[in-house]
């Protein structure tokens, strides 16, 4: 895999792999197949690809029906439309009957970029996380995306897979050991635990380098399965470090920060800072400009870590 890869591109490639291995895999899109990268599957397996047009409710409902008849449907559109427009179809047609639909939503978060706030889903994790039966995955890079797609196919039940638009650094080797439901410890340190998800994982690793230069040894944990949350690992590192920073390309309400805060409040309350979008909408700009403007950077994570370490008793 190259140096920088968009997770949506890795998804498109992974679909070809699982499509070859599982004849029951079918793919549905809502007129965005070139952007969600399902077009490659459509070209390779035209009879197993269904374009539903600009109709996300029917996209999810049809996927549910296909799953009820034994197929493994991947339903793709942008995160804002999947979780916003089709929320209730995901809840009632897919999750409530525990149907085997994989919702692969691309263009999540601020890094949609120039299309602006109307298209930047920064609440999708919160929405999906509140639905029973649904597994929520947020891969950090292209390698993890491919492994997450394979894990989603092998998992019996509905999955929400959150993917991004721009090319992002590849941080894992092909030997990266991904397991659904397990947070991955990428670096160990005792002063502060940096829990990150999605594109913020590479920023957290950079932040750990910055902090190490100042004598603050940080653990970095990739929480790619937001639900079910790996509470054991989260609590273990909160206890060990005594301070936690979460980082996500999502509203600080209800996403990774929310999930970790809930787990720690009940099991191991420690000083904590959430790095994320601070309950505001996004706007137009390049992805880099937006990440800078909204404080989703290694510098912000390092700053939060310094502040939270000072709060330790």
Query: Which parts of this chain interact with another protein (CB under 8 A)?
Result: 26, 47-48, 50, 52-53, 55, 57-58, 60-71, 73, 88-89, 92-93, 96-98
DSSP state of 122: S
**Please, which residue, 155 or 187, has the CB nearer to another protein?**
155
Count the neighbouring beta carbons within 10 Å of the beta carbon of residue 267.
13
CA dist list (Å): 179 to 54, 131, 147, 182, 208? 34, 21, 9, 6, 24
* Assigned token pair, 130: 């509140």
Element (H, E) at 135: strand 135-137
Nearer to another protein by Cβ, of 65 and 228: the residue is 65
CB of 27 to another protein, least distance (A): 12
Is residue 156 classed as helix, strand or coil in its secondary structure?
coil
Kindly tell me which of 64 and 207 has the beta carbon lying closer to another protein. Answer: 64
Catalytic residue among 13, 56, 188, 289: 56
Smallest separation, CB 78 to another protein (Å):
17
C-alpha 27/C-alpha 75 separation (Å) is: 6
C-alpha 103: how far from chain center: 12
Q: Which of 199, 242, 239, 203 is nearest to 220 (CA)?
A: 203
Q: Which is nearer to another protein, 89 or 135 (CB)?
A: 89
Smallest distance from another protein to CB 75, Å: 10
Contact in structure between 11 and 29 (CB atoms under 8 Å) = no
What minimum distance in Å lies between the beta carbon of 51 and another protein? Answer: 9
Is 144 catalytic? The answer is no
Q: Which is nearer to another protein, 47 or 174 (CB)?
A: 47
Name which of 60 and 264 has its Cβ closer to another protein.
60
DSSP state of 4: E
Q: What would the two tokens of residue 74 be?
A: 């991947």
Name the minimum Å distance from CB 88 to another protein: 6
Peptide bond into 182 cis (omega under 30): no
Q: Considering the complex, what minimum distance in angstroms separates the CB of residue 74 from another protein?
A: 13
> Rounded to the nearest 5 degrees, what angle is found at the Cα of 50, between the Cα atoms of 46 and 56?
155
Tell me, letter by letter, the H, E, C secondary structure of 185-235: EEECCCCEEEEECCCHHHHHHHHHHHHHCCCCCEEEEECCEEECCCHHHHH
The residues that are catalytic are 56
């Amino acid at each position: 895999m190259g140096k920088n890869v968009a997770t949506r591109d890795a998804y498109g490639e992974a679909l070809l792999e699982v499509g070859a291995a599982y004849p029951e895999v079918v793919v549905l899109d809502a007129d965005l197949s070139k952007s969600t990268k399902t077009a490659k599957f459509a070209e390779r397996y035209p009879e197993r690809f269904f374009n539903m047009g600009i109709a996300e409710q029917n996209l999810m409902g049809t996927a549910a029906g296909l799953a009820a008849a034994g197929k493994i449907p991947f339903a793709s559109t942008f995160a804002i439309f999947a979780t916003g427009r089709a929320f209730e179809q995901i809840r009632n047609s897919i999750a409530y009957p525990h149907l085997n639909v994989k919702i692969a939503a691309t263009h999540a978060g601020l890094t949609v970029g120039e299309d602006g706030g109307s298209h930047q889903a920064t609440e999708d994790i919160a929405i999906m996380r509140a639905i029973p039966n649904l597994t929520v995955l947020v891969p950090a890079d292209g390698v993890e995306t491919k492994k997450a797609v394979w894990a989603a196919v092998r998992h019996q039940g509905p999955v929400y897979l959150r993917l991004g638009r721009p090319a992002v650094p590849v941080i894992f080797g092909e030997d990266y050991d991904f397991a659904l439901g397990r947070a991955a410890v990428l670096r160990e340190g005792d002063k502060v635990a940096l829990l990150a998800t999605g594109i913020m994982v590479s920023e957290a690793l950079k932040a750990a380098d910055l902090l190490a230069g100042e004598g603050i040894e940080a653990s970095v944990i990739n929480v790619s399965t937001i639900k079910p949350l790996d509470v054991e690992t989260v609590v273990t590192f909160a206890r060990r470090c005594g301070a936690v920073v979460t980082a996500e390309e999502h509203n600080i309400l209800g996403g990774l920060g929310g999930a970790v805060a809930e787990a720690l409040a009940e099991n191991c309350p420690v000083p904590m800072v959430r790095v994320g979008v601070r309950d505001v909408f996004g706007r137009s700009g390049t992805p880099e400009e937006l990440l800078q403007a909204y404080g989703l950077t290694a510098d912000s994570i390092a700053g939060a870590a310094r502040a939270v370490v000072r709060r330790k008793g």
